[in-house]
Structure 1
Amino acid sequence: MAWTKKHTQLNDVLSDLVPNKSGINRFVLAAGLQPKFIDDSGNAIEVWNKVLIEADKRDKVDDLVKTVLDNYPENPFLKSALSSKEIDYSLSPDIDKVSKWNAVSAETLEVLTMGQSTLLPINFLSKGIIKSRSVAKVEMKIGTNRYNVGTGFLFKVKGIEDLFFITNFHVINRRSDIPKTRIIFDYEQDIYGNSLPSKSFEIEDGKVWYCSPVNQLDTTIFRVKDFDNSLNKYGYIELKEVEISDSEFVNIIQHPGGEMKQISLYHNIVTYRDERKIQYLTDTLKGSSGSPVFNSDWEVVALHHSGSEKKENELALPYGVKSRNEGISINKIIEFVRNNHIS
């Protein structure tokens, strides 16, 4: 078997969806594979690796994906695995290589298990829709039918009239990639579940190209070409310095896996913050790099840049809750813009 990036990403997705070895066997059988030919020793990631190798040998990888897709019909990564278009959504840096992960406390878990009210005014939904207009998919062509994907958003900083777009440094950081990259707005569904007509923009290769590497702010800021003022439709998010505390809730608007726009609203809670970073529990998926992290007042508190699963020695989390997510403090990014930009 020629193990490709697509197989690695599929292995990651399957072990995320079915993390217990005891649950893997039924998918193996449903795909027409024989368990006796698959070594089930090791953790779930290792077992899924062996399952994929056997499925590839029998030309049944698509059959395997379809059986899991029956249980998770909206999962963007399973759907993309059946497509001939190759999406590289493994963009996030390893948290342990760029930051110290601060473990989740028992007090935070108490809040997460409904120790705090989650009631919000109904206008929370309307405000969120307005903010979401400025969020776009970032798509970079890296070969024939192969793409890198991420997320970003239009913004302004108080006191500066210029309109900027921001995403992660690890999504795009070379000027030579500008011609290959598109910023795509309205890549989402309407209230009836129909696809909206999206609009694609190019990056302006001009004096605004502010980059900070992964181990610092993991940020790239630029302008988007707008020849006919059509960007006005999408507005912008005004960034301002904000304070955030542990156990506050956050929400992320994102393009996971390069799929249509989605929002993470459940199980989202801040676990740690300092001057540079904010760490939180929330459901982010690969391809969410560069997404705005909002508080409950729809103020941006961070630029999402990394996420991974909890380690064995960390406290057990409620079922369905993901751990080890991190964003760069928006206060540091505002400071970065002001220090670099000359009107």
Structure 2
Amino acid sequence: MDWNRQLTALNYFLANMYDEKEETKRLSEEGGLNKIQIRFSEQAITNWYNILRHAAFEEDKIIRFLTFITDTPQEKGYKNEFLKGIIENIRQHTISKSGPDTTMDWKSDTITKADKEKLMGNRSNILPISFLEIGMDCSKAVARIRVGNELGTGFLIANNWLITNNHVLDSLSAAESASIQFNYQLSKKGNHIEHEDCELDPGNGRFFTDEKDDWTIVKVKGDLNEKYGALRLAEKGISKTEFVNIIQHPEGGPKQIALYNNMVTYSDENIVQYLTDTLPGSSGSPVFNTNWEVVALHFSGGWTSEPGNANPVYRNMGLNIRKLVKVLQDNNL
């Protein structure tokens, strides 16, 4: 199995979860790997790179190893949805679509203690219970996109248009072959529920895309708004230190939500940057404000470090939704 972005994400994820060398030796042995053939390191990132390079040499081997972590109650990764999504992707030979690494384009400073204290002083984190109900309604409009063996996320807006990234649907032919999967998620009992595969209708001027700003707007077949609703696009932008939430299909797996500890760190007329957790496969996800209005189209993330934190931090970026509102208005969509 060749090294890919999915294994890179897994590398960082496991390095944060299991950062002690001796612990990874124990885990490797119990997970069925030959630890004599692994060069263990004191640095967690390097250590896990060496472990995964060994495990990924055979597809069955890495699946057994990761399954041991997710199926063993004593392990930190027990029942972890991200790890289970990776396993499923390896089995199905699918790869989650991912935007460019934006580490070098990170525009904001670390959120300071003063910023956080200001937040706590000015804003209550107590919300009406209807916040969750509205969020569940909004989640219906978020879908997994599958093009061949590649996976991403998209969402419905009014008049049966679907928004995603250009790097998820980059051409008319990709849109014509894509499967748009609604309700690809788990039930409250943890079981897969029945999902619906839908098609797009991109012909006759119903497909718009922009590689530079990384967006695609395309018509869906039928009246899916009637069944799954439509997300509202925010009429104004969002500011630094405001909170955001993302409904997504991380690693192309079941639908999930990043709901807390999510803070905007930079915003201008083009982009919004935030600390919300996402992973490859989340490309094309809606970034919501606390009123469940879409404020950005998520398109990329990157690993970086911040002062006082030895562990890498995955920071994210999306296109300011106001740019897409203008596109919709200019084209009378």
Fold match (TM-score > 0.5): yes
What's the offset of the Cα at 1:299? 1.2
Q: Which runs of 4+ in 1 moved over 6 A?
A: none
How far apart, CA to CA, are the structure 1 residues paired with 2:85 and 2:169?
Answer: 25
Q: Which amino acid is the alignment partner of residue 47 of structure 1?
A: N
Q: 1:293 to 1:191 in 2, by over 3 A?
A: same
Q: Where does 1:78-93 land on structure 2 (aligned, <5 Å)?
A: 78-81=84-87, 83-93=90-100
Q: CA contact under 8 A between 2:165 and 2:216: conserved in structure 1? A: yes
| TM-score normalised to structure 2 length | 0.86
Equivalence map 1:142-161=2 (5 Å)? 147-156=149-158
Q: Which residue of 2 aligns with 1:209?
A: 207
- The whole-number CA distance in structure 2 between the counterparts of 1:80 and 1:11 is 11
Q: 1:246 maps to which residue?
A: 240
Structure 2 counterpart of 1:138? 145
Which residue of the partner structure matches residue 219 of structure 1?
A: 215
Change (3 A) 1:244 1:187: same
Q: Are the counterparts in 1 of residues 265 and 274 from structure 2 also a CA contact under 8 Å?
A: yes
Q: Deviations over 1:141-172 (max 9, x none)?
A: 1xxxxx1111111113xxxxx33110011111
Q: How many angstroms apart in 1 are the aligned matches of 2:292 and 2:332?
A: 28
Distance 1:112 1:29 in 2: 48
- Give the corresponding residue for 1:294: 288
Partner of 2:111: 105
**Distance change in 2, residues 1:37/1:109 (3 Å):** farther
| Cα distance change, pair 122–18 in 1 and its aligned pair in 2 (3 A) | same
* Correspondence list, 1:250-261, <5 A: 250-261=244-255
Distance of aligned partners of 1:221 and 1:317 in 2 relative to their CA distance in 1, 3 Å threshold: farther
On the 8 A contact 1:18/1:24 being kept in 2, the answer is no
- Alignment partners' CA distance in 2, 1:257 and 1:16: 12
Where does 1:1-343 land on structure 2 (aligned, <5 Å)? 3-5=2-4, 9-19=6-16, 20-22=19-21, 23-41=23-41, 43-56=43-56, 60-69=61-70, 70=72, 71-72=76-77, 73-81=79-87, 83-96=90-103, 99-107=105-113, 110-111=116-117, 117-141=124-148, 147-156=149-158, 162-206=159-203, 207-213=205-211, 216-226=212-222, 229-311=223-305, 314-316=306-308, 322-339=313-330, 341-342=331-332
Q: How many residues align?
A: 321
Q: What is the DSSP-based 3-state SS (H/G/I as helix, E as strand, rest coil) of the residue aligned with 1:129? A: helix
Deviation at 1:128, TM superposition (A): 0.7
Distance in 2 (alpha carbons) for counterparts of 1:112 and 1:65: 42
CA RMSD, Structure 1 to Structure 2 (Å): 2.8
Structure 1 unaligned spans of 5+: 142-146, 157-161
> Please, which moves more after superposition, 200-209 or 31-40?
31-40
- Contact 1:293–1:301, Cα closer than 8 Å, also in 2: yes
Q: TM-score, normalised by structure 1?
A: 0.83
Cα distance per residue 1:27-66 (max 9 Å; x no partner): 2222244545422347433322222333356874233212
The 1:33/1:198 distance shift into structure 2, 3 A limit, reads closer
What is the CA–CA distance in structure 2 between the aligned matches of 1:43 and 1:328, rounded to whole Å? 35
Identity across matched positions, percent: 35
1:281-316 deviations in Å (ceiling 9; x for gaps): 1111221111111111111111111112223xx234
Amino acid at match of 1:210: F
How many angstroms apart in 1 are the aligned matches of 2:14 and 2:63? 17
Q: Structure 2: how far apart are the matches of 1:178 and 1:184?
A: 13
Say if 1:242 and 1:331, in contact at 8 Å, map to a contact too: yes
User: CA offset at residue 317 of structure 1?
Assistant: 5.5
Are the aligned partners of 1:280 and 1:323 in contact in 2 as well (CA < 8 Å)? no
SS of match in other structure, 2:145? strand
